[in-house]
Amino acid sequence: MARAQFNRVLTKIDIDEIRNALIFYYPQVVGEQGKADPGKYSTRNFLWSGRVDFDVDIRFLTDVDLKNVREGQLYQSLKIVDQSLGKLTNTNPVESNRPTTEQLASMEEERVKREASQKSAVEEAKKSVEAAIKKQQEIQETLRDKKIYAKVEVAKGSPAPDENTARFIEEAKNHPLSFQKDLAASIKARLASSFSGTLTGEEIDFLANKTAYDTVFAANNFTTQSSANTQAAILGALGKDTQTLPKVITDENTAEFLKRASSELSFYKNQTQLSKVILSSVNENLATSVFGTGPENLAVTFTTKPTAGYDHEVDLEKLNQGHTDVLGAQSNALDKVRSFAGEDAKRLLTGQVRNFIDSQITKLPADSAISEIYNSKVAQQVLSSIGFGRAAPLGESLFGTVIQQIPGGTAFLEGIGNFLGIDLIGTTGVEATVDVVVEGSSLVGEGLVGGINVGIGVTEGAAIGVETQVAPKVVTAAAGQTGKLSLNVALGNAVAKGASAIAANLGFTAASAKIGAMIGTGIIPVIGTIAGLVLGALFGRVIEKVASWAKKHQEDLKIVGGAMLAGGIVVNSIPVIIVGGLIFIPTALRTGFSVALFARRTFWFFGRIARSIIITISTPVIVIVVVIPILVAIILFIINSGAYIVPPTGSFMGLQNPYINIDKKASPAGPFNNSDIPSKTKIEYTVTVSAKKGLLTNITFKDECKVIKNGAAPPCPSPSQATPVPPDSISPSSPFTFKYTLNFDSHNYDDSAIVNTFTVTADTVEEKGVTTAGSASIIIGKPPMECPNNAWPLANDEGLNSVTQGPMTPQGWTHYNTPNAIDIGVNGATIVAMHSGIVNIGEGACGGKWVRVVSTCGSLFTSYYGHLGATIVADGQKVTIGQTLGISDNTGSCTSGAHLHFQFFDTGSVPTTQKPYLKRNIPIGCTNQLGNLCN
């Protein structure tokens, strides 16, 4: 019947269809297990009645008689079929490097066991989630249009910043990245000196970076911080309210739920408190000035009706909505979990996971622990055995050592052990229930993460129905960033109450007294103690337990670690979970959220994961399918946190550099009138290059001078002396200084801005080829105002806070090594010229429709606007600042969603994705997809 189908030359499409059929009838070809004849299969061009029919055609096409192949030879035969099909039209084989039959049999055995256990656990969880959703919907109904009103008064205000603090805040605003980095280094040094035995280096890095980031963010967004404090105070008060809420909500269960939700949300909105406490030990005045009056010092009262003074409207319906959304997402996640149990699971592994893991691994330093494991011989062997063949670099690693260094790593091992049936930790189960429960009538849940927790979740924006504007209006729901609060309320409240309370809540009574004493004196170790306690609770109470065991079983652990990382069992769901389960990550791509938010959630996840794994010991399948992959993902994020919490500043951007300082001054500095030429415009430039941290060697200098003016700009005058030859080295104690003069003696320089940039590249004690730059500019007359100045490439500042990627992103990302490029998440928005200039237009396969404007304010700026849906300016057309250029869209292949790619070209060393060129500073290296957020 089928042979007639091949009475013609086969096309590539035909072969693709036959290949699909081959996978359908013999899933072994892609590493899956065989099954009974699945019966009829049709494509656009072909039809087979069943496997026997298909075998006839395969024999016709490839001379391989699958029907009579012995079982042990089947895989080899399928490989031959696959290769033969490929040769028919030069298409690639389905895959290469298949597992052996023995390996497949072993995998199948594992799969069957896993699947049976998984199925029941997942279904149970699904039932619970669905019940919770139903309950939530009922609650939602009772909350429809229910509102109360809050009055917030300052019980105790923050002190005014002292002179030193004011200077710090100014620095944080003017040089956010360098300030953040310096502050993080300072905190890190203190933590390390006091708690090197208590906290791991990664934990210290994480805390230091988070605190520094929160500080800089709060300093630059004081209103946002104050608003968060106010919302936290309102939510906290609502959680305790016994007067007003019962008048609005008569149903006890609903009222109880709302109170719980509010309490947790209160902590959620209060997420900078830990940073505040940590910063307090460095500079208390700075901490209170930057983070403002905390929720604990705000008094809140409620009323049921709009009343003067009660300016904050609390929309109870919206408060609940986030939880409902989270449940919906959890239900979806469970659907995905179900699919993992299906026969396609291994195909997923062999086809996609390796790429993902590779990409994650390559982001890590080559000498990092994870990289070492991944590249170890054993891990590579495991990779090969499950179909991920690759040249196996030799390498040794000590997974046991690594596991002690990874936050939550012990719990990780525990879960793996449960799955494999090996007691890796030496402990036995604690509880037998899957921690997805609906307790009685209240919706209390704890436990699992990654989308199947039935606990109280929030959708930021959507969930927090508290309007903090004075005007009595309802806050509109922001595009939902779904997250959830996994840290328990007790801990959250405790953080707000102070370090002693934290210790007490965590059961560290001895430490509690110690901390209390420390707080009394305000001595520095408080930071580390708090951090240690919090991290201890969150990251791994059991880390010590595994340490000794791990040392004895290093080789086993390597195998386990390799298997896990290879994705043979566990990691398969990482891409899916990250995209689907960790809902906040893809959402963040469009809406953005703060790094602090990500970091905080990471804390929570760890806490919940650590608990969940213990709780779910007897249901390892859930651990394997849901918890572990997330843990792995987060470990990778955490390990790599330095790359996204503190973006690589790239001194290229002219921001402060930790190793090199360049001070360039012009004297006189101006500004000058045109009539000052030439009497006052002989400018002496003094350049001082100093080393900030250790010796600079292999130094090169580059001096650039640009004149910005309307029309053709003259070249800069020749300097009185050439750029000097750099010294062999510059030490911190002996800066290198030189001077030269530029004489602007011609009226060619009327109405000009002269930007003079000095760039130094040198090897430092820690990095090679570090570059930084310093500029000095003078103004003569009235330079053109058409240059980008406090501008934004979208009309009405649309997308001002929707930046999804900044310049100079980490290696491997689209804007890697790309200065002055940003992505703004908008769709159908009006694109306007950032400055005057001459237009080029075009369309490319990657960038889609684009417009380029070459500045007329000098040769410095060329702006580029990509992925447009329409261009309304023509080649060669002159445009002025603010003139409409086109409409944004999603054209071209280099886009994963509608956005504007905006970039300045030809800017030399000038950082142009910052103020004053743009209306806001774009964090260097930010990329929402990595969690290093741009808004």
**By the rule CB under 8 A, 647 interacts with another protein:** no
CB of 234 to another protein, least distance (A): 29
CB nearer to another protein: give 291 or 340: 340
Site size toward another protein, by CB under 8 A: 83
**Residues from 831 through 860 that contact another protein (CB under 8 A):** 841-850, 852
Backbone angle region of 837, left / alpha / beta, with phi > 0 → left and psi within -120 to 50 → alpha: left
Q: Which among 181-189, 224-232, 573-581, 730-738 is the span making contact with another protein, rule CB under 8 A? A: 573-581
Q: Is 827 in the site for another protein (CB under 8 A)?
A: yes
Interface with another protein includes 708 (CB under 8 A)?
Answer: no
- Rule CB under 8 A: is residue 823 a binding residue for another protein? yes
Alpha-carbon gap, residue 39 to 24, rounded angstroms:
9
Instruction: Give, as ranges, the residues between 278 and 307 that touch another protein (CB under 8 A).
Output: none
By CB under 8 A, is residue 386 in contact with another protein?
A: no
Among 400, 866, 923, 925, binds another protein (CB under 8 A): 866
Q: 589 or 933: whose CB is closer to another protein? A: 589
Question: What are 471's two structure tokens?
Answer: 């005007």
Start-to-end CA span in the chain (Å): 62
Exposure b/e, 4-29, CB count within 10 A at least 16 = b:
ebeeeebeeebbebbbebbbebbbbb
Indicate whether 873 belongs to the interface with another protein (CB under 8 A).
yes
Q: Does 657 bind another protein (CB under 8 A)?
A: no
For residue 190, give the nearest of 476, 526, 505 by alpha carbon.
Answer: 526
Give 611 or 899: the residue with its C-beta nearer to another protein: 899
* 580 contributes a contact to another protein by CB under 8 A: yes
If the CB atoms of residues 590 and 665 are measured against another protein, the closer one turns out to be 590
Does position 864 bind another protein by CB under 8 A? yes
Nearer to another protein (CB atom), residue 65 or residue 875: 875
CB of 348 to another protein, least distance (A): 3
Task: Identify the three-state secondary structure at position 809.
Answer: strand
How many Cβ atoms from other residues are within 10 Å of residue 780's Cβ? 24
Q: Is 589 one of the binding residues for another protein (CB under 8 A)?
A: yes
Q: Is 583 in the site for another protein (CB under 8 A)?
A: yes
Residues 509-568 that bind another protein (CB under 8 A): none
CB of 862 to another protein, least distance (A): 9
- Residue numbers 348-367 binding another protein by CB under 8 A: 348, 351-353, 355-356, 359-360
Which span sits near another protein by CB under 8 A: 5-13, 187-195, 530-538, 691-699?
A: 5-13
Q: Are 238 and 246 in contact (CB under 8 A)?
A: no
347 binds another protein (CB under 8 A): yes
Q: Which of 336, 484, 553, 709 binds another protein (CB under 8 A)?
A: 336
Helix/strand number for the chain, H first, E second: 31, 23
Nearer to another protein, 73 or 359 (CB): 359
Pairing of strands 729-730, 770-780: unpaired
Q: Which of 112, 579, 669, 765 binds another protein (CB under 8 A)?
A: 579
- Cβ contact 802:864 at 8 Å: no
Which of 864, 867, 845 lies closest to 854 in space, CA to CA?
864
- How long a stretch of residues is the chain? 935
> Which CB atom, from 286 or from 826, has the smaller least distance to another protein?
826
Each residue 23-62 as x (binds another protein by CB under 8 A) or -, in order, gives: -------------------xxx------------------
* Segment near another protein (CB under 8 A); pick from 295-303, 373-381, 764-772, 861-869: 861-869
Answer for which of 158, 871, 912, 928 binds another protein (CB under 8 A) is 871
Biggest CA–CA distance in the chain, Å, is 100
Distance CA 466, CA 461 (A): 9
Cβ 804 to another protein shortest distance, Å: 9
Residue 636: closest CA among 568, 580, 581, 564: 564
DSSP calls for 534-584: HHHHHH-TTHHHHHHHHHHTHHHHHHHHHHHHHTSSSGGGHHHIIIIISTH
| Rounded (5°) CA angle 618-619-620 | 100
Closest CA to 701 of 881, 909, 855: 909
Which of residues 1, 3, 12, 469 is near another protein by CB under 8 A? Answer: 12
Given the complex with another protein, which of 47 and 154 has the nearer CB atom?
A: 47
Query: For tokens 């196996």, what's the residue?
Result: 392
> How near is the Cβ of 333 to another protein at its closest, in Å?
10
Nearer to another protein, 261 or 841 (CB): 841
Pinpoint the alpha helices (H) of 45-197: 51-62, 71-89, 101-143, 163-174, 176-195
710 binds another protein (CB under 8 A): no
Range 883-922, binding another protein (CB under 8 A): 887, 889-898, 901, 903, 905
Cα dist from 120 to 127, 129, 580, whole Å: 10, 14, 22
Q: For the range 586-589, what are the long-range contacts, defined as Cβ-Cβ under 8 Å and sequence gap of 24 or more?
A: 587/479, 587/480, 587/481, 587/482, 588/481, 588/928, 588/929, 588/931, 588/933, 589/804, 589/825, 589/896, 589/897, 589/928, 589/929
| C-beta closer to another protein: residue 738 or 816 | 816
Contact region with another protein (CB under 8 A), list: 89-97, 378-386, 608-616, 710-718:
89-97
The one segment of 83-91, 153-161, 639-647, 773-781 that binds another protein by CB under 8 A: 83-91
Strands (E), 603-751: 660-667, 682-691, 696-708, 729-730, 736-743
33 touches 108 (CB < 8 A): yes
Stretch that binds another protein, among 69-77, 194-202, 486-494, 577-585 (CB under 8 A): 577-585
Instruction: Output 241 or 889, the one with its CB closest to another protein.
Output: 889
Quote the least distance from Cβ 591 to another protein, whole Å. Answer: 9
Q: Is the dihedral of CA 619, 625, 629, 630 positive or negative?
A: negative
Tell me the C-alpha distance between 105 and 83, whole Å: 23
Based on the shown chain and the rule CB under 8 A, indicate whether residue 97 belongs to the binding site for another protein: no
Single out the segment in contact with another protein by CB under 8 A; choices: 113-121, 235-243, 670-678, 822-830.
822-830
Residue with smaller CB distance to another protein, 330 or 612: 330
Note whether 123 and 623 are within 8 A (CB): no
Among 155, 189, 765, 870, binds another protein (CB under 8 A): 870
Choose between 500 and 907: whose C-beta lies nearer to another protein. Answer: 907
SS3 743: strand
Residues in contact with another protein, shown as a per-residue x/- string from 797 to 816 under the rule CB under 8 A? --------------xxxx-x
Query: Is 821 among the residues that bind another protein (CB under 8 A)?
Result: yes
Q: Does 795 bind another protein (CB under 8 A)?
A: no
Smallest separation, CB 569 to another protein (Å): 15
- Dihedral of CA atoms 480, 486, 489, 493 in degrees, nearest 10, equals -80
Whether 873 contacts 851, CB under 8 Å: yes
